[in-house]
Amino acid sequence: MLEKLVRLGYATKGAVYGLIGILALETAFGVGGKTTDSSGALLTIASQPFGKFLLIVIAIGLAGYAIWRLIETFIDPENKGTDAKGIGARIGYLSSGIAYSALSIEAASLALRANRSSGNGNSTADWTARVMAQPFGRWLVGLAGAIAIGVGLYLMYKAYKVKFRRKMDLSELSTEQEKLLVQVCRFGVAARGLVFMAIGFFILQAAYQVDPNEVRGLDGVLQAFAAQPFGKVLLAFVALGLVAYAIYLLVQARYLRLKADEVEDDIESKIPFR
């Protein structure tokens, strides 16, 4: 049961990123669309026929993904350990678990109410302003920017070395299919790395200028790409990368080697009564 929920989580996360990429592609080619983030993608889904049903499925899937990230943090099924590298990986899992728990709650809340408004202002800037108001807040914001850039560089390295390949069982595919799929996944992971680096750059800029409004999320980064010389080409390139990243997540949903069943059995064995 846990494994199915986790795989649904990867698939729903992929669906959200795929929609973001498709909307950005439409913008780049001037056929509608918009540059948006995960919250905006949920709002787009909410406005579609059967939108509430889809949001409920997404909420359940993202909850499963978040649960797995928290399991990876505290139970450590992959034996990351407690050295510096292992702790770093587990902190990353914890951050991801918290973020996707919040997104799952957002999807569920949107499904259960008629409100389709996204007019919450720049919540990222609001949070940055609160952090900056604290002692050493500017330095904390700068550290967050440096970490985001570091994550982006790691994702680039991960794509270059194809480090994700060892976690997937692609044995049922032909050699040609596997090569093609791996290259698509590499492009997707690298594109997400580029986005992380851009987000980190804007966070650092906010810290340097002491201006929280300089911080940009995924939607703001896509808008910034579009505003550059040859912006439509750059936006289309990044949008294709996000679609490729969505495919990577769908591939993980199908072929990722999971130890979810082992974890579930271990948890059940520790329940004092059943």
- Count of beta carbons in the 10 Å neighbourhood of residue 220: 19
The pLDDT score that the predictor gives to residue 118 is 47
pLDDT tens-digit map of 129-188: 888 888 888 899 999 999 999 999 999 999 999 988 888 999 899 999 999 999 999 999
Question: Could you say which DSSP state residue 172 is in?
Answer: T
- Condensed to tens digits (0 to 9), the pLDDT of residues 175-199 reads 999 999 999 999 999 999 999 999 9
* Whole-number pLDDT of residue 258: 82
Phi, psi of 80, rounded to the nearest 5 degrees: -65, -30
So what's the pLDDT on residue 119?
46
CA atoms within 13 A on the CB side of 162: 11
Per-residue CA distances from 116 to 41, 156, 181, 221, 270 (Å):
12, 36, 36, 23, 43
Residues of the chain predicted below pLDDT 50: 114-120
- Bridge partner residues of 256 (DSSP): 168
